[in-house]
A and B are shown apart, each in its own frame.
Chain A
Amino acid sequence: MARRGYLIIDADAHYLEPVHELAEYLDEPWRTRIQGVSPSRLLPRALGDRMLQGRIRRDDVDYGAAIGDSSKGQVLETMQRLGVGATVLVANRLANFGHVSSRDLVVALANGYIDYMLENVASPEEGIYTMPVLPWQEPAEAAAIVTRVGSHPAVVGVCFMTSGPNPPLGDVRYNPIFEAAQEHDLPIVFHSAPGLTLVEGSSPVDGFQRLLEGQATGFLISNIAQLTSILIQGLPERFPKLRFLFQEAGIYWVPMIMQRLDEYYLMRREEAPLLKALPSEYVLDRFHFGTQPLEAPKNPRHLEAIMDMFDGRRRCVFSTDYPHFDFDDPVVIDRLAFLTAEDKQDIFAGNAQRLFNFRKGGVQPWESTWSATSRTSQNTPA
């Protein structure tokens, strides 16, 4: 599968997990508890109608006024339509479980989710990969999940939702999780979440009146908080082989927080004594960033300047975030005149192939497009 000659890996698409079905994979009493209640009663929901009274529509996914369930067939259909050769699926309803205080519930859901996905959906030969979503609330249990499924060929990373963890994820209490991920050569994917829970005071962006406000800021602040924590707490030094990916907040924020952390590090180095380089230098060496929702300034040179500031041509991985209301079509990269064909192929696939552990199960058929249109041959778009 390719689009205009490019192999495309979608580093972040969402699977609308059928909570009642995945409950079958849980031990009692959670199996019974979950089957007897609407998922919206279990997990906090952000405010607002994402689909704007039907203005926004997804014809191939049951994602409208109510949120339905995905299926593997629908995932393959969407990949075909978007021209995506491989996809990394992330849970949808679990995105807000960082704010759930019932620790045994989130552990049960995290286990049930990954077991359901590996048995029913994941398929490396068809380009469908996934990751466990880890409960920060129980680090030892989260590490046990990584150890249990980390060798599966469809598991290409481990995922934290960035809204909710307290303390933020650079804290040493999460060491067992990072140890397990490093041992399995799995990148840590920090997936943003709105941080808008209707629980007063549980997030810096609670209290907004409209979804637009929470969406524009919550995803950003959640990622900024976690990136700051893991850099200043020296996570890259504590786990020198770990690779990191931040998702779903666009890219403009990246050079801003890099520069700001450098300025404060220069003044207060003694508060970050593990660091052996400027915070920004770790970003340029070990961190990747999902492109969605990619900013589209009126002057494209502004986007080019942002990319220049954090080596975006090598740090960015294309992500659609489909089927969410602010998903990105591959055209957002394809139309950027300041990128060469080689840059586009790196953002569409090459950077993700270097980041994720796609080859545990061997070379897969979807990769053949990559070799057929390798960077030295004819991948210039028509």
Chain B
Amino acid sequence: MVGNVADIPEHAGLVVQIGSRSIGVFRIGDQVYALRNVCAHQGGPLCTGKVFPALRAEILPTGKVREYYDYEQMIVACPWHGWEYDLASGECLADPSKRVAVYPARADGDSIVVSVPD
């Protein structure tokens, strides 16, 4: 148990310390996510960044491009340089070979429960 669900800010994460790890906890609807608070780029405090829907684009039949927000995929952007990570998988959107650790997390009533390996 690392805190209360109500402590998680809107469109942002709650950063908690679990052992030696700094971890950000996020909530989208009923789903809770937990990610390591260290960006794979230069070690920035990833989970102090804001949450956004992923921006996508489609090529229209006219050949023009339409950009739109995809609320099915929420991301956190590192405040140092903007690297984006999928909240669920920890994968970097621009390069899936880069990722941050994610941890099983859930809401148990009003409480947030995060499981981290020893």
Contacts and interface: CB of A to CB of B under 8 A. Distances in A.
Contacts of B42: 328-329, 331-332
A326 interface: yes
A326 B82 CA distance: 9
B9 to A, nearest CB: 13
A326 B49 contact: no
Interface range, A side: 10 to 19
Contacts of B77: 52, 55-56
A59 B42 CA distance: 17
Interface range, B side: 10 to 19
Given A325-B81, A325-B82, A326-B81, A55 B43 contact: no
A362 interface: no
B1 to A, nearest CB: 29
B49 A57 contact: yes
A54 interface: yes
Overall SS of chain A's interface:
loop
B3 interface: no
Interface string B84-105: 1000000000000100000000
Contacts of B50: 54-55
Overall SS of chain B's interface:
loop
A55 B52 contact: yes
Interface string A286-329: 00000000001010000000000000000000000000011111
Interface in A197-247: none
Contacts of B82: 52, 55-56, 325
Nearest to A296: B41
A296 B40 CA distance: 12
B53 to A, nearest CB: 11
B106 to A, nearest CB: 27
Contact of B43 (A53, A56, A331): A331
Contacts of B84: 55
Contacts of A328: 42
Contacts of A325: 81-82
A328 B42 CA distance: 8
Interface string B62-98: 0000000000000001111110100000000000010
B81 A298 contact: no
A325 B42 CA distance: 13
Interface string A35-64: 000000000000000001111110100000
A327 B44 CA distance: 12
Interface of A: 52-57, 59, 296, 298, 325-329, 331-332
25 contacts: A52-B77, A52-B82, A53-B52, A54-B50, A55-B50, A55-B52, A55-B78, A55-B79, A55-B84, A56-B77, A56-B78, A56-B79, A56-B80, A56-B82, A57-B49, A57-B79, A59-B79, A296-B41, A298-B97, A325-B81, A326-B81, A327-B80, A331-B42, A331-B43, A332-B42
Given A55-B49, A56-B81, 4 more contacts: A52-B82, A56-B78, A57-B49, A296-B41
